[in-house]
Structure 1
Amino acid sequence: MGRWRCPHGDTRGVAVAVSDMAVFQQAAMSKPKNEIRPPVGEKAKMIRSPVSPASFYGWKLAVLLFFAMAISMAVPIYGLGLLNMHMADELGFNRATLGTAFAVFMLMTGLPGPIAAKLIEKYGIRWTLVIGEGLFLAGAIAMATIVASPFLLIVCAGLVIGSASAFGGAIPIQALVTRWFSRRRSLAMGIVLAGGSVAGMVFPPLLDHIVTGHGWRAGWWVIAALVGTLMVATIAFVRERPEDIGQTVDGEAAVVEGPAYPEPAQGSRVYQTDDEWTSRDVVRSATFWLLLACSTGVSAVYTIFHAQAMLQIRDLGFSTSTASYLISMSVGAGFVTHAVVSLLGDSVDPKKMWAAALLLQGLGIGMFAAGGVMIWLIYPAIICIGMGTSGAIISLIMTFSNWYGGNAAPFVFGFGSAFSAACGALAPIAAGYSYDVTGSSAPVFYGISMACMLGAIVLTLTKPPRLGGVEGGKTMVSKHVHQPLGEGS
């Protein structure tokens, strides 16, 4: 039996037991008939009152997930880029080694995606997060103590910490936000994913200060302390579903054990599928593979920039501290873009925003490569890469979610993460070897720039997929009337 959701304010502050239709109507007299309708053919068992935003646990959880996203995803990325550069100077590692280690890390952030989905299904989101955080803690301690060879660097930074980000990062975090939020999902997801941007602005200068005074291994001890704190908080405060603590999705009022009512859209005109896509349907969808192909440009820019940017900027004569601040500036530009895309995501087609972001990425990485000839191009390149990468990531997530729905989401994000990570991981390896052989990584950067431009064109021409030969979706339009399933508008 489904659940019927009352509009805001119908029974605020009380839980009313309803034994027959007359009592239900009396409880609903304060609202017009076309705004509250009793369940068809069934008696509602209980009306659960809404909770205030301050009391809704989902927002408290979003704050924790903000820090989880910052520590589990952003900290290792920026930590590897900065700390490995200092480590290479001390231990004599070449750029191919650093590029390979970072490529393995990025590969492992996506490759175990299907395994992460299985762990969520079997053990729940909280313990999947704890597994990832435990791996991260072990990897950080190993980096601080025993890593002194290219092999150990690739194993600890690449395999262990990369896997930690898969199990303790985006996949379980996005699933948890989806369980707790519906109407406000775009806002909540934007807040949580912003943790990576904020960490990217704050962490590089802070870490550089620590390394300057105490060495690169001290930086890994700081990271280990952050991860340990996060693990304790995850065990103590993460809750799987709102029903576990007597709340509902979004903290709104609901009638328990009544028939299902559709979720009304809130002013959105963005395409969303109505069909129940399965993993087999998704694999057979040509559109899915086109979207994956476009996502490789996003991951290639992301990986090559974070693996090589510090080194490239320093090669141009900038100090390490200046390079750290330039990276922070890029992340700051991305943070602004992230906020804009999150706010517009329910009213502007995310596919169009993704295409625009790919154009920015292509332009930015091309100018970054040309910075060796015209050094002033580094500044607009940094801004374009930050804006394009951040905008592409969040609009990519929303496009896949809207076009293939919640039923197929674990497969879509698990397989999609593995695919794009595998393709994107080749970029820093190619750039590292190009530099070691020719003295320049520019050819690889220009190639990625062209791939991004092509991806933007493909996205512009791509239409939402069909399931079974019928248009598989709808355009969401704002409604103000709650109606049971099966009734007309």
Structure 2
Amino acid sequence: MTSRGGLVLDSAQGWLTTAAAFVAMAAVFGVAYSFGAFFAPMAAEFGAGSGTTSLVFSITACCWFLLGSVSGRAVDRLGPRPVLLAGAVALAGGLLVTSTAERLWVAYLGYGLGVGVAVACGYVPMVATVGAWFDRRRALAVGAAVAGIGVGTLAGAPLAAHLIAVYGWRRAFVLLGLGGATLLVAAACVARRPPVMPGAPPRALREVVRTREFRLMYLATFLASTALFVPFVFLPASAAAGGVDPVAAAGLIGVVGATSVAGRLAIGALGDRIGRVRTFRACFALIGASFLVWLAATSLPWLVAFAVLLGVGYGGWIALQPTVMADWFGVRGLGAVVGLVYTSSGVGALVGPPLAGLLVDATGGYRWAIAAAGLCGWGAFLALLPLRARGTW
């Protein structure tokens, strides 16, 4: 436990809020990253191609990242509880609407906006809240909180595949919506806003966006997100096309989630020891390298290796990015800064899967889509090369 300016940080309430953040992120990302299991049955029922069906997920991811700047500001002003409750309403309502869709555009609105708003409420606000609760152990706490994303990813896709097999995709959406909303309400009951720290006011956003660090971070996040969301949409379908059992194919997303938990915890702690920028940059190199493995994959073990590499790199990226920004720009107003950076992820998510889907439809296979995503991953690594350590590193 440490203190600053007479205010206690790293307290028991901070760890309870970290646990609430873990649950909230597991709930919203468990639903969002289960879309790969819904992809094939929805495309078949609506008679839609890969590009148009993947747009459901792209709209979702675009919404949660673009709205992160709004929810980040909201948590700075209101605290986490009302933001999480709004996310619970959006999640349940959006999936209930999607379960009744007779046209694909209804899913664009119901799933895209409902789940998108829910993730925006459960992700950026909670990362910023946890980061502001901690000082000395900030990387560890944020890593523990965002490990909920990995657990949700691990459980969400296989659970969705099972529910679809037993109840059909429409009822599966209803069950996931109600269950996820219940977890968000529980998290809202536990989470508390951090103490207000004395000192200088937060940096103005117009000043932040002019910095070299912000611009490089924004570009790298855009390119990495363009790559990242391609496997979340197409990995199960591509594996099934290669002869992998559909449930096992959906389970590959779970492998990404499981290994991302290790990445979030281990790499977050490693960054405190050997330098956060250096470790952060290495995570992007690992993401780029993982797509080379996917491109060469000829069997399930190769696909598992790809999922492991992607999960570790992705987990480390997500764990370290908020702490890097906190050290650069301060913890006051952190929600707004994190949310603004993540708007680039929204654009990347909107661009990546549909373009990959068009490549799949045009070529009749997945190799060109995988190669294009891999180039974006390496581009993100190159964008971070000019960055240098700052502050306490």
Deviation at 1:357, TM superposition (A): 1.4
Matched-pair contact (CA < 8 Å) for 2:36–2:250: no
**Aligned counterparts of 1:374 and 1:229: Cα–Cα separation in 2:** 39
Is residue 2:364 matched to residue 1:439?
yes
What residue in structure 2 maps to residue 314 of structure 1?
A: 240
1:298–1:392 contact (8 Å) kept in structure 2: no
More helix by share: 2
Separation in structure 1 between the aligned mates of residue 163 and residue 372 of structure 2, nearest angstrom: 36
Alignment pair present for 1:323 and 2:249: yes
Residue matched to 1:102:
57
| Matched AA of 1:350 | R
Equivalent of 1:390 in 293, 315, 318: 315
Task: Note if 1:181 corresponds to 2:134.
Answer: yes
**Take 1:199 and 1:77, find their aligned partners in 2: how far apart are those partners?**
9
Deviation at 1:418, TM superposition (A): 1.0
Deviations 1:50-83 (CA, angstroms, capped at 9, x unpaired): 8997xx23322322221111002x2222222212
The structure-2 alpha-carbon separation of the partners of 1:134 and 1:445, relative to structure 1 and needing over 3 Å to count, comes to same
Which residue identity is paired with 1:184? R
- Of residues 111, 136, 141, the one that matches 1:157 is 111
Change (3 A) 1:228 1:333: closer
Equivalent in the alignment of 1:361: 287
* Distance in 1 separating the partners of 2:271 and 2:94: 36
List gaps (5 residues or longer) in structure 2.
none
1:204 Cα deviation after fit: 2.2
Aligned to 2:90: 135
Residue 343 of structure 1 is aligned with which of 269, 274, 277? 269
Give the counterpart letter for 2:378 in structure 1.
M
* Worse-matched range after superposition: 313-322 or 281-290: 281-290
TM-score, scaled to structure 2: 0.90
Distance 1:434 1:51 in 2: 50
CA contact (8 A) 2:72 2:338 kept: no
Letter in 1 for 2:305: P
What are the Cα deviations for residues 301-343 of structure 1, in whole angstroms up to 9, with x where unaligned? 2211111111111111111111022222222222222221122
**Aligned runs of 1:449-464 on 2, under 5 Å?**
449-464=374-389
Contact in 1 for aligned 2:65/2:344 (Cα 8 Å): yes
Question: How does 1:49-88 map onto structure 2 within 5 Å?
Answer: 56-72=12-28, 74-88=29-43
Residue 391 of structure 2 aligns to which amino acid in structure 1?
K
Q: Deviations over 1:169-213 (max 9, x none)?
A: 211101221343223322221211111111222232222222212
Partner of 1:27: none
Larger Rg: 1
Are 1:380 and 2:305 counterparts? yes
C-alpha contact 2:63 2:116 (8 A) present in aligned 1: yes
Equivalent position of 2:66 in the other structure = 111
1:3/1:348 Cα in 2 relative to 1: closer, same or farther (>3 Å)?
A: closer
* Cα separation, 2, equivalents of 1:351 and 1:150: 42
Which letter does structure 1 place at the counterpart of 2:107? L
Which residue matches 1:120? 75
Tell me, yes or no, if the aligned pair for 1:77 and 1:306 is still in contact at 8 Å.
no
1:474 to 2:391 alignment: yes
3-state secondary structure, aligned to 1:406: coil
Question: Is 1:83–1:219's contact at 8 Å kept on the other side of the alignment?
Answer: no
Q: State how far apart, in whole Å, the 2-side matches of 1:156 and 1:286 are.
A: 38
Q: 1:401 maps to what in 2?
A: 326
1:426 is displaced (CA, Å) by 0.4
Q: Which moved more, 1:319-328 or 1:404-413?
A: 404-413
**Identity, % of aligned positions:** 23
Gaps (5+ residues) in structure 1? 6-47, 244-248, 250-259, 263-273, 465-472, 477-489
